[in-house]
Structures are given as C-alpha cells and as structure tokens.
A = this chain, B = another copy of it.
Amino acid sequence: EPGPIDLSRYGGRSGIPTFAGAPIALTPEDLIAGDVDVAIVGAPLNMGSGWRGAQHGPLALRLIGRVGGNDQYTQISPSRELNIVDYGDIAIDQDSTERSMQHVREIVREIAETGAVPFIVGGDHSLEYPNVAALVDVYGEDNLSVIHFDAHYDVGRDRAHFIDHGQPIYRLLADGHIKGGDYIQVGLRSGSPSESGYKWMREQGFKYHSMAEVERYGWDYVLERILSEAKADGRKLHISFDVDVLDPSYIAGTGTPVSGGLTPREAIPIIRKLCAQQEVVGFDIVEIAPEIDPTYVTNLHSAAIVQACLIGVSMRK
C-alpha cells in the first residue's frame, strides 16, 4: 500500500542517509498517501564543462543531514511542521543533457501535481529549465515568478546545444514557458552578461541585482529591494539557487566559481525571508560539487540554504 517508507530503527536514523533524515517516497501515490508537503529529489546531472562533480550534490546533501532540525531564530523544526520525504534520484543520461530534460520535467511535474513542493538538489544548472517548465505545466503561465541566485546570468543565447548549464533561462524564454519579466536575478558577477546581454535582458523585462550593485549600495539596501520586488507581484515563487552565488571562500565545492560573492550570513536570511514571505512552489539548489572541497564546508552551507527555505515554508503553515 502506498505511503512514505520509514527507514528508521529505534525511532531514529538507521544509517541509511536520506534528505533531512526523511522517509522515502518513490511514487506520486506515496506522496498523496503521506500528505506530503515537501518532496526533496536528487537530480545528479553533471554536464557542466568547468570543474565537474555536480553529480554528487544529492549524495552530499543526504549525508550532511542538518536540514530538518530546529531553528534558533524562529524556533521552528521543519521536520515537525512539514511532511517531508526523500523522493530518491531522477534518472539522468550523463552523456546528454538534452535527453535528460524531459524526464526531469516529468518527475518534477508529478511531484507538483500532488500539491507537494519539489525541492530539487542538483546537479548542474541546466536543471532550471525542466524545473521551471514543470511548474508552469502545473500552475499555468503568468502564475509563477523565479528568483535566480547565481554568479552567472545563465541566459546564453548562442550556444552549440539545445540546452546546457549556461542557458537554462534563455531556453525557458525561447520555448515560451516564462517571460523575462518573471525573473529576478541576484548575485551576478561573472564575465557575462556583456553590455548587449544586459540590454537584451532589460528589453525582456528582467530584474537583476549584480554584486556591483552590492558593492555600491551595500547588501542591506539590495536585500530590501529584492524582497520588495518579489513581494510586489505576489505570485507563486520558484527559487533557483546556484551555490556559486556565494563566494568561493565559502563554497569551494562548485565548478564555475567567481571571486567576490555573497557570504552565508547574507544568503541564509534572504532565503528564509523569501520562503516565508511568498508561496514557494519550487526550489532548486544546484552546482554543489562536493569532491572539489576537501572539507565539509560546502555541504554545510548548502544544507543551511535548504533549511532556510524549509523554515520559511514552515512559517506559513
């Protein structure tokens, strides 16, 4: 009979690592039977062309544990407030990003259709494409905003392939799933976009907050602007969090790092506030490449970001 499978012995964990120490679900029926609020699912896609290793991101987050426990600030334990499950990993064709897209979209959609919020743990950032497309499938066009945290703008318009980790947003726009005006980008500081790229983005209606803006006005000011912009449209929200939005000092384990990024003490609160302020219907964290960081620091901060959103979601219950 369907429902989440509890792997714990003695009422605690039994050594088999799952996201948030949660029970496991493998089918939509399990989600429905378990009245699941959040289904965390791995998508070990690894086709980025930098220092690869993003395929082990899901494993890293299963191992680190710390995402469902009590939060000092809010005195909320997501694991107690929410029905959370580990929905396993999505099958990936590691030899073709393009072939992986449709199946990721199907799984994310089947989660969302049950009313659960999919938390996708990547994997590289090409995942933003099927994740957002799936949510639009379920919630309809013009009902979704996306906040994209990233050192890179990921709107590459002249790429050799249909999809790769540098163009998910462009592909979403080109395929008509979403509009530039539905997007807020935060933390941009890589070589791109160029001036013409920025021009195109402005024409498309993108809102963005680069690290240049943070250097000039300070994070507190930028934080408030982002919260206001996000609140203004009041729509359902997807957050796509590329861990390289953080400075490589904090996230050494990622494939295309850029100096000059956010600190954890800047990133954690904004995620918690966004997830508490608005109805989050999807969340992805991508580009965790744990083997590049010989310490556990990358995994720890990544988990804190996931937990921050879980806390926010819990606060709305």
Give the B-binding residues of A (Cβ under 8 A). 5, 7, 9-10, 12-18, 24, 26, 42, 44, 46-47, 49, 51-53, 55, 58-59, 62-63, 66, 69-73, 75, 77, 86, 88-89, 91, 93-97, 160-161, 164, 188-195, 198, 210-212, 215, 247-250, 252, 257-260, 264-265, 268-269, 291-297, 300-301, 303-304
Tell me whether A91 and B10 are in contact (CB under 8 A).
yes
Say which residue of B10, B47, B70, B95 sits within 8 Å of A194 (CB atoms).
B70
**Are the CB atoms of A16 and B88 closer together than 8 Å?**
yes
Instruction: Provide a sorted-by-A list of 12 A–B residue pairs whose CB atoms are within 8 angstroms.
Output: A14-B88, A14-B89, A16-B89, A51-B291, A51-B296, A71-B191, A72-B190, A72-B211, A73-B215, A260-B265, A291-B291, A293-B295
Please give the distance in Å from A12's CB to the nearest CB on chain B.
Answer: 8
A162 CB → nearest B CB, Å: 10
Interface centre among A55, A95, A247, A265 (most CB of B within 10 A): A95
Tell which of A7, A77, A160 has the most Cβ of chain B within 10 Å: A7
Complex-state Cα separation, A212 to B18, whole angstroms = 28
Q: Please give the count of copies of this chain that the complex contains.
A: 6
A160 to chain B minimum Cβ distance, whole angstroms, is: 7
Contact A249 to B269, CB < 8 A, known contacts A293-B295, A295-B293: no
Q: A15-B59, A15-B89, A191-B70 are in contact. Are A160 and B259 (CB under 8 A)?
A: no
Q: Does B17 lie within 8 Å of A265, measured CB to CB? A: no
A9 lies within 8 A of B91 (CB): yes
Least Cβ–Cβ distance between A142 and chain B, in angstroms: 30
Which residue of the partner chain, among B24, B190, B294, contacts A294 with CB atoms under 8 Å?
A: B294
Give the chain B neighbours of A26 by CB distance below 8 A: 7, 9, 14
- What is the CA–CA distance of A297 and B254 in the complex, to the nearest angstrom? 11
CA distance A160 to B211 in the complex (A): 43
Q: Are B52 and A52 in contact, with the CB atoms below 8 A?
A: yes
Least Cβ distance of A270 to chain B in Å?
11
CB distance from A111 to the nearest CB of B (A): 13
The smallest beta-carbon distance between A49 and chain B, in angstroms, is: 4
Q: In the bound complex, how far is the Cα of B58 from the Cα of A63, in angstroms?
A: 12
Task: Give A45 Cβ to nearest chain B Cβ, in Å.
Answer: 11
Looking at the assembled complex, report how far the CB atom of A169 sits from the nearest CB atom of chain B, in whole angstroms.
17
Check if A9 sits within 8 Å of B88, measured CB to CB. yes
- In the complex, the answer to whether B72 meets A63 with C-beta atoms within 8 Å is no
**Are A259 and B301 in touch, CB under 8 angstroms?**
yes
